[in-house]
């Protein structure tokens, strides 16, 4: 399974510094335990060489910025069609989610909050379900928007904006249906650190265990940007990649991430590029 981040070049921003993590980062929302992976091994050797490093998490795949004074993030993705892995139990619900958020790397913000929003997907006995949600973690569990309907193939744009370290807004738009929803946080605790921004596919946890992870094919984040030091950063070539690996075998890559760079020069058909990108990776998907 593939998650790809598309960024636009060239864009040079003065006063914005993207630092290399001093230590190997750890993903937020992880709990000890969880099911062993049932996915086959494949190599992530084709992950983008233009990034400064690829890290492995047992619950995340995607990209993140390690910086300072980051107060906003946006990204657009298409909701995938989930499927149960080979040999799955028909009575088990296999799930996953895609989201964007702030301060999701735990050792960058060890005692702080995580502000995020996205879409969950699940499949059980061939029946799929989807839900849009927002969350200030660990102060609350996922909260669901009742006025947003989500289906496979829908284009979703999520924008997170911190108005302070204890408040902000989550906006989610279903571009396919025109539905949109907003939630505003105030006086939340723990406070944000405003030091990282993330575009993530996650094997989320319920209680102290990861849910059984669904096959999802591929997810591509487009239209990505972050607000860093008051300036919009949409050149993500300094972002770090995260691959999801099995808890029992770190060489078993469950979901690999890549960075696709598109030049600003000339004209291009964004739909064609998106289709070509997915097609080129089709033989690597599970």
CA 97 to chain CA centroid, Å, is 8
pLDDT bin (cut points 50, 70, 90) of residue 108 is confident
- Domain ranges for the chain, please list them: 2-281
Kindly report the pTM of this predicted structure: 0.81
pLDDT bin (cut points 50, 70, 90) of residue 38 is very low
Among 51-55, 222-226, 232-236, 262-266, where is mean pLDDT lowest? Answer: 262-266
Continuous H helices in the chain? 270-280
Q: Are 94 and 122 in contact (CB under 8 A)?
A: yes
Q: Are 219 and 155 in contact (CB under 8 A)?
A: no
What is the Cα–Cα distance from 177 to 77, expressed in whole angstroms?
A: 14
pLDDT > 90 in the chain, percent: 52
From the candidates 135, 194, 198, 202, which is the catalytic residue? 202
The pLDDT value recorded for residue 167 is: 98
204 Cβ neighbours under 8 A, 6+ residues apart? 29, 59, 95, 96, 97, 120, 210, 211
Q: What is the mean pLDDT of residues 212-238?
A: 92
Is it the case that residue 149 has pLDDT exceeding 60? yes
DSSP 101: E
Q: Which two tokens stand for residue 258?
A: 């890549």
CATH fold of 2-281: Jelly Rolls (2.60.120)
- Clarify whether 202 is annotated catalytic: yes
The pLDDT value recorded for residue 26 is: 60
Q: Which two tokens stand for residue 234?
A: 């949409």
Is it the case that residue 241 has pLDDT exceeding 60? yes
What is the Cα–Cα distance from 218 to 278, expressed in whole angstroms?
A: 7
């Amino acid at each position: 399974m593939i998650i790809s981040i598309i960024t636009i070049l060239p864009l040079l921003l003065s006063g914005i510094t993207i630092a290399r993590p001093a230590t190997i980062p750890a993903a937020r929302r992880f709990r000890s335990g969880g099911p062993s992976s049932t996915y086959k091994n494949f190599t992530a050797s084709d992950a983008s060489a233009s990034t400064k490093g690829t890290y492995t998490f047992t619950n995340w795949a995607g990209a993140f910025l390690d910086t300072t004074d980051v107060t906003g993030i946006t990204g657009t993705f298409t909701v995938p069609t989930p499927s149960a892995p080979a040999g799955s139990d028909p009575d088990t619900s296999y799930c996953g989610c895609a989201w964007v958020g702030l301060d999701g790397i735990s050792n960058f913000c060890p005692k702080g909050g995580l502000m995020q929003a996205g879409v969950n997907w699940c499949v059980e006995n061939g029946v799929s379900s989807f839900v849009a949600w927002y969350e200030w973690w660990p102060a609350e569990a996922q909260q669901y928007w009742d006025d947003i309907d989500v289906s496979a193939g829908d284009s979703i744009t999520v924008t997170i904006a911190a108005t302070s370290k204890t408040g902000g807004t989550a906006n989610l738009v279903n571009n396919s249906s025109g539905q949109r929803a907003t939630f505003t946080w105030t006086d939340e605790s723990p406070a944000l650190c405003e030091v990282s921004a993330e575009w993530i596919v996650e094997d989320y946890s319920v209680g102290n265990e990861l849910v059984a992870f669904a096959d999802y094919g591929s997810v591509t984040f487009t239209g990505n940007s972050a607000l860093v030091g008051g300036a919009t950063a949409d050149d993500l070539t300094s972002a770090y990649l995260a691959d999801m690996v099995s808890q029992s075998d770190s060489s078993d890559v469950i979901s690999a991430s890549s960075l696709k760079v598109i030049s600003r020069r000339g004209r291009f058909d964004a739909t064609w590029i998106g289709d070509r990108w997915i097609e080129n990776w089709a033989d690597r998907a599970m």
